[in-house]
Amino acid sequence: MTKGGNRLLLDLYRTMRRIRTFEERVNELFVRGQTAGSMLHMSIGEEAISGVCRAMEQSDSFTTHHRGHGIFIARGADPNRMMSEIAGKADGYCSGKGGSMHIADMGLGALGANAIVGGGIPHVVGAGLSYRNRGLKNVSVAFFGDGASQQGILYEAMNMAALWKLPVVFCCINNQYGMGTRIDRAAANTNLHERAIACGLNGVAVDGGDVEEVHEMSERVLDSARNGRPGFIAMTCYRHFGHARLDKSPYRDEAEELEGRKRDAVLNARAKLIERQTSDAASLDSMDDEVAKEMNAAVEHAIAAVPPGQDSMFRDVFAMGEPQPRPLRQHLSSILGEAR
């Protein structure tokens, strides 16, 4: 049993339930036609990532990929502001300009979210270098999917982190699919942590169906990283649905999906809590209902929130003091008026 025991597992279960319910409500927001854009990548099946986030310190930093909603929830993000961002509203984390794939908040330690596969990985090397040079004990964590394990920037970043002994951890959320390509059709060796070991990192593999294991191993890896030995966590899980909201995953058969969903960390944690008599089914159902109300309220908040005004179009895009460009319509009108 992981350090912290059953009370910790109950806390992790609640976080995982909040992640799953948030993602289910994001799906509903999409169906209601209230999301900004058409690309939504849900992290259902990856909820055990909360074990990594729980092992992090408040002062640690991180980057996420395009499937990062759950990571932000686990780091303490406000569901109302997250849902508003996904809906393209002004009170969202990025004033409605980032959308689902680019939610960020420096206050949570987020160095940015990147929709480019592997795009956020090198940022943590810079953060780690800064921490080391300033004598800080912070760690910077890069969260990414198994699809990014084929990107060259990952190996450059791992090599540099190992060479300079930076307080960095690379966390690969291996949900078995890079879009529609299964990992064993993209990598001859699917033990992705072994690649990190070859680079000189502290590489470990964890079962993403067991949040306690994820948390316990993450604590060890993060502690080592704080003391100059960067790490790599490969968390094996299963993506419950298609790559994005409109992907019905025709490349997978029903038998595979049923087997893959047995790795469900949420249901596994619930079963452990009942088996250990930490909680009973009725108590957990009550907790689930509270979470559902919270996320239902987040949906209604996002729908009622106002979109950003046109005058904010270029805000946060140009440096302070720089003149903002005029909207195209206004620019054309002035040209046409001069021509007359």
Residues 114 and 111: their CA atoms lie apart, in Å, by 10
Q: Where are the domains of the chain?
A: 5-339
Reference 208, options 70, 23, 69, 22; nearest CA is: 70
Over residues 289-300, the mean pLDDT reads: 97
Residue tagged 């009370």 (tokens) = 7
Q: Please state which CATH class domain 5-339 belongs to.
A: alpha beta
pLDDT of residue 75: 96
Is residue 337 over pLDDT 80? no
Looking at residue 180, its amino acid is: G
Region class of 73: left (phi > 0), else alpha (psi between -120 and 50), else beta: alpha
Over residues 16-26, the mean pLDDT reads: 97
Is residue 45 over pLDDT 80? yes
Burial of residue 171 (number of CB atoms within 10 Å: 0-12, 13-18, 19+): buried
Residue tagged 């055990």 (tokens) = 48
pLDDT of residue 338: 64
pLDDT of residue 3: 59
pLDDT of residue 114: 87
Residue pLDDT, tens place only, 243-259 = 988 888 999 999 999 99
Residue pLDDT, tens place only, 151-205 = 999 999 999 999 999 999 999 999 999 999 999 999 999 999 999 999 999 999 9
Secondary structure letter of residue 324 according to DSSP: P
